[in-house]
Structure 1
Amino acid sequence: MNEKKVANEPIVVSSADDIAPGDVEPQGFDSKATKKLLRKLDWHIIPFMLCFLDRTNIGNARLDHLEKDLGLHGLQYNNCLAILFPFYIAAEIPSNMMMKRFRPSIWLTFIMFFWSACMIGQGFVKNYSGLMATRVFLGVFEGGLFPGVNYFITQWYCRAECGFRMALFFSAATLAGAFGGILARGIAEMDHVAGIGAWAWIFILEGLASIVVSVTAYWLIYDYPATARFLTDKERDEVERRLQVDHGHLSNDFNVKYVWQAIKDWKIYIHMLICMAGFCPIYSFSLFLPTIIKNMGYTANNAQLMSVPPYVCACFFTISASWFADRFRKRGVFLMGFQLVAILGFALLAGSGNSKVQYTGTVFAAIGIYPQIPLGLAWNSSNIGGSLKRGTGIAMQVMGGNCGGIIASYVYLTRDSPRFITGHSILIGFVCMAFFLTLFMSTWCRLENKRRDKIASEAGTQDLTPAQKALEAEQADSVPWFRYQV
């Protein structure tokens, strides 16, 4: 392993992938103590992230006469889906900057409470304009959650440990899709209770549940390792030490120049496109799956229930894939594998009129598309140096993903029912684009690591002054000792 000496402190020059979790530096905890520490972090950090219901429940509400009761026609339903995303996208970078400026417990609680209130508001709208307005505010407040939580995870775990935790968070959304179908089936029996339609009860009850979660979140969220009350002084020091070494001793200062570093980094834009090509089928799938299944010949109530198995399968593979990706320190190859599975799923949907083949296609599509998001987020975040640049880069990536949400709102049009061949074909095209971009980035990272290894080998070791160390620490992942995960 090549090293540079900086102020008598070893700085790793070889790939961060050569450092095993719990063995970042010799003077740290041993393997057994590190595993115990990680389990302690998991029990205190992860549970709050799993406590939210389906945020794409408008797809379930549609089957309970939402369009009829609100008098929607033509593309108005699709417009209501699409209007959320521009505001969702606009909120993401400012939200992650607020996460850095303020405590996560304050900011996440704030946005969770108000997006829950907006969800409840959707249950009381009377027309198209009312639904559009509530969807705007839902996008404003909800936009900070996904990039915020993923950024929050990187503040506690080393790069090779983030993917599995991000997958646990994302799997909550996947399971919420399954639970949302079961819940919607039960709520259908409440149609016209208190003069309110079943579709409205879906929004109201799930919004109330989210309100309860949001008001407890302030006490459930531990902000940073330095202030974590559940850690001993020794454990707190070890968590911070591991993060410093894993991130290459790069700057964690709050300075707008690191935001601009992210904005000017071409690699992040490639990840934005990969994320967009991943989120587009996911949003299409989650927003329209009940409708797609209903058009296979099932009743509305059965379609709600039949939407559950694809989500359950997707959840299992999402968590498993990220666990193995963390274990082998590889992202690109796993991404490409699942992209091929997704293509198979949508090809089955587009190529056959047999309901059994089509339903099998929904299962393969779900298995293929959902693991891509946590794998892609972990890959991008692990390859960005510096705290604020990483937070901005994650937000940019999710912004790109949610541009896919705008497209997804118009992929499946009523005029293309019942087969939606055009929509399935569009999604195949997006996943193919993601496959080739993933192949490109994986190849580039591998070649760049070899280039830096060669330069480091030729340069040997040298002592840097504190001023030189501080200057290089501001260069983020451009510093010579940083290695990209492939």
Structure 2
Amino acid sequence: MEDHESKISVTITGEHKENAPYDESTISPQEERKLIREADWRLLPCLTLLYALSFIDRTSISNARIVGMTEDLDLYGNRYNIVLMVFFITYTIFEIPSNTIIRRIGVSRYLTTLIVCWGVVAMCFGFVNTFAQMCGLRVLLGLFESGFNPAALYLISSWYKRYEVQKRVAFWFIGGAFMSGFNGIICYGLSEMEGVGGVRGWRWIFIIPGIVTIILAVPFYIFVSDFPEKAKWLDSTQRAFMQRRLFEDRGEELEKLQRKHLIEACKDWKVWMMGSLMGFPTAGGYTMAFFAPSILRGLGYSVAASQCLATPPYVAAAICSVGIAWWADKIKRRAPFIIGLCLLVIVGFLLIGWGPNNGSRLVGIFFGVIGNFCAIPTAIAFLMNNTPGAAKRQIAIPIQTTMGGIGGVIGAVVFRAQDAPTFRPGLYASFTCMAITIGFTLFLTFIFKRANRRADEEGVVLEGVEGFRYTL
């Protein structure tokens, strides 16, 4: 951190407005690192654990499917795909409205309410008896989970600099996927509770995680940090400093969300295109989450082996994501990683559909999971880095996660039971998604590089922020 001889006055606008003059020397580099570590501890473990539980609650259906749920609820034909799809109707519709109110209500109160509600719904899956009941609960689960992901991402973006953010997003996203990767093993254990209390084993796959989600809402309410301007564990000088370091990095002040910010974000074609860079890999990610156990079962593996073999790819994806995030933040690049990971997915899906033996198809599942689940946090960081303005980003992030929800719909419907065990029609759709992602990324890179060159050579101000440059 550079030394400054003069005092710096920082004006924080918005709901908590304060004029905070202070000498930068009051926050030493050692104290800054300590504050960032404290923020990491107060944000990432809670958000990661809750993301894992939300992912488990929405995808455990794939494990329950192969241990009796299909027969008990008559989920034959396209019914399973319909059950998967209806979740994303409410999930996509309510993401943007949800993020418009989080600063006003507060992180702990708002998210804790959502957590308890989706935990109750998840538990109720263990008591359904009909296809219609399952669909109704999936709609409710989508409603209550819709607010979590955009809120978590917006909260992370509000604490860290542009080239600190991907490591945190990767930890949150892939850390949750890593823990939920053990869901297959957990679900197998829960399915072995067959007959306990007169309840089928597949029902325990929903009941126990739902109860755990409800219980964990209490420590989440106590420990999770709010936004920097509201964080009670910071004193006034520290709050001003945390906001100032973001102002210096991005050239933006905290703004109160207004209608003009909603219009600005929704009219910006770049936001939608960058949002799609999350949507298409999410389609592939949900494909793996919803259908990997079925693919493995179709290859001749036992129920136990199918549940357990679905876990190692997520462990590998977690390790790769951390390495990629560190590298991407270090060289300040996003697009090359998105393109490379999409190519890895294409190779993986080729092996799943056309591999000569089960070993090659298992490798394909590894490549598919790693590519999709590492591309998603990279795409999220790409949008965060290239959307200056806290209020605009408050809308842009749920636009992106909404595109992710649409990707979930694609992933839910393109893999059909009648296409087992190779699911080639679904693989063709996945190839198309990856090709579009690569094309959009190349186009954005061209546009951003040209804009940066004009800013350097002609002094053009980008995004209305002096000194801003797009991240490539």
TM-score of the pair, normalised by structure 2: 0.91
Match of 2:16 in 1: none
Matched, 1:477 2:463: yes
* Correspondence 1:238 to 2:241: yes
Give the equivalent residue in structure 2 for 1:272: 275
Give the whole-Å Cα distance in 1 for the aligned partners of 2:113 and 2:233. Answer: 23
* 1:454 alignment partner AA: E
- Answering whether residue 45 of structure 2 is matched by residue 47 of structure 1, we say yes
Higher relative CO (Cα under 8 Å, sequence separation at least 6) belongs to: 1
* Runs of 5+ unmatched residues, structure 2: 1-7, 11-22
| Residue in structure 1 matched with residue 71 of structure 2 by the alignment | 68
Does the 8 Å contact 2:251/2:466 carry over to 1?
no
Separation of aligned partners in 1, 2:42 and 2:392: 26
Per-residue Cα deviation, 1:446-485 (whole angstroms, up to 9, x for no partner): 211111122228xxxxxxxxxxxxxx9xxx9333432211
Q: Distance in 1 between matches of 2:219 and 2:180?
A: 23
The one-letter code matched in structure 2 to 1:366 is V
- Give the length in aligned residue pairs: 448
Residue type of the alignment partner of 2:423:
F
SS in structure 1 at match of 2:307: helix
**C-alpha distance in structure 1 between counterparts of 2:168 and 2:394, whole Å:** 16
Give the Å deviation of 1:377.
0.7
Q: Aligned residue for 2:367? A: 364
> Which letter maps to 1:41?
A
Contact 1:452–1:480 (8 Å) recurs in 2 = no
In the alignment, the residues of structure 1 paired with residue 387 and residue 9 of structure 2 have an alpha-carbon distance, to the nearest angstrom, of 22
Instruction: Say which SS state the counterpart of residue 224 (structure 1) adopts.
Output: coil
Q: Write the deviation string for residues 343-378 of structure 1: whole angstroms up to 9, x where unpaired.
A: 111111122241000001101111111011111111
Alignment match, 1:191: 194
Letter in 1 for 2:384: S
* SS state at 1:231 partner: coil
Matching residue's letter, 2:38: K
Aligned Cα RMSD in Å?
2.0
Q: What is the alpha-carbon distance in structure 1 between the residues aligned to residue 119 and residue 463 of structure 2? A: 37
Partner secondary structure for residue 270 of structure 1: helix
Q: Which of the numbers 327, 330, 335 marks the counterpart of 1:332?
A: 335
Structure 1 residue 211 and structure 2 residue 209: aligned? no
Measured after TM superposition, the shift of residue 426 of structure 1 is 1.7
**1:425 Cα offset (Å):** 2.3
Q: State the identity %.
A: 31
In the alignment, what sits opposite 2:5? none
Contact (CA 8 Å) 1:349, 1:357: kept in 2 or not?
yes
Q: How far apart are 1:228 and its partner, in Å?
A: 2.2
Q: Is the 8 A contact 1:51 1:213 kept in 2?
A: no
* Residue 383 (structure 1) aligned with residue 386 (structure 2): yes
Q: Which residue of 2 aligns with 1:37?
A: 35
Following superposition, the deviation at residue 43 of structure 1 comes to 1.5
Structure 1's consecutive aligned runs of 4 or more residues displaced over 6 angstroms after TM superposition are: 25-28
**2:49–2:176 Cα contact (<8 Å) kept:** no
Q: Assess, with a 3 A threshold, how the Cα gap between structure 1 residues 133 and 161 changes in structure 2: closer, same or farther.
A: same
Q: After TM superposition, give the deviation of residue 28 of structure 1 in Å.
A: 8.3
Q: 2:425 aligned with 1:422, yes or no? A: yes
Aligned to 1:431: 434
C-alpha deviation, 1:320, in angstroms: 1.7
Q: Which residue number in structure 2 is paired with residue 77 of structure 1?
A: 80
**CA displacement at 1:250 relative to structure 2:** 4.3
- Cα deviation for residue 111 of structure 1 reads 0.9
Q: Give me the whole-angstrom Cα distance separating, in 2, the residues matched to 1:197 and 1:388.
A: 48
Q: Deviations over 1:41-82 (max 9, x none)?
A: 112221111223213111111111111011222111110000
- Following superposition, the deviation at residue 34 of structure 1 comes to 3.0
Task: Answer with 33-42 or 376-385: which moved more.
Answer: 33-42
| Deviation at residue 179 of structure 1 after TM alignment | 1.6
Partner residue in 2 for 1:469: none
Residue 461 of structure 1 is matched in structure 2 by: none
Aligned to 2:18: none
1:35 alignment partner AA: R
Contact kept in structure 2, 1:449 and 1:483, CA below 8 Å: yes
User: Mapping of 1:280-319 within 5 angstroms?
Assistant: 280-319=283-322
Once the two structures are superposed, residues 108-144 of structure 1 have per-residue CA deviations (whole angstroms, 9 ceiling, x without a partner) of 1111111111101111100000000000000000011
Which residues in structure 2 correspond to 1:398-477 (within 5 Å)?
Answer: 398-456=401-459, 477=463
In the aligned structure 2, how far is the partner of 1:283 from the partner of 1:173? 14
Q: Distance in 2 between matches of 1:35 and 1:335?
A: 29
Shift of 1:30: 5.2
Could you tell me whether the CA contact under 8 Å between 1:347 and 1:425 is conserved in 2? no
Contact 2:262 2:395 in 1 (8 A): yes
Contact 2:275 2:383 in 1 (8 A): no
| Distance across 2 between alignment mates of 1:175 and 1:424 | 24
Equivalence for 1:15: none
Q: Do the aligned partners of residues 28 and 254 (structure 1) sit closer, same or farther apart at CA in structure 2, a change above 3 Å counting?
A: farther
Equivalent residue runs for 1:116-195 within 5 Å: 116-195=119-198
2: CA distance between counterparts of 1:194 and 1:34?
54
Q: Deviations over 1:362-421 (max 9, x none)?
A: 011111110111111111012112212101000001111111111111121111111112
After TM superposition, the structure 1 stretch with the greater mean CA deviation from structure 2, 368-377 or 51-60, is: 51-60
Q: CA deviation at 1:432?
A: 1.5
The one-letter amino acid paired with 1:478 is G
Q: 2: distance between equivalents of 1:49 and 1:81?
A: 24
2:113 corresponds to 1:110: yes
| Inter-CA distance 28–241: structure 2 relative to 1 (3 Å threshold) | farther
> 2:318 is aligned with what amino acid?
C
- Partner Cα distance (2:27, 2:337) in 1: 30
Structure 1 CA distance for aligned equivalents of residues 228 and 176 of structure 2: 26
How far apart are residue 314 of structure 1 and its match?
A: 0.8
Deviates more, 1:345-354 or 1:369-378: 345-354
CA distance in 1, matches of 2:394, 2:367: 32
Aligned residue for 2:127, secondary structure, equals coil
- AA partner of residue 44 (structure 1): R
Does the Cα contact within 8 Å between 1:113 and 1:215 map onto a contact in 2? no
Please point out which of 243, 247, 250 is paired with 1:247.
250
Q: Distance in 2 between the 1:231 and 1:43 partners?
A: 14
Mapped contact 2:313–2:369 kept (Cα < 8 A)? yes
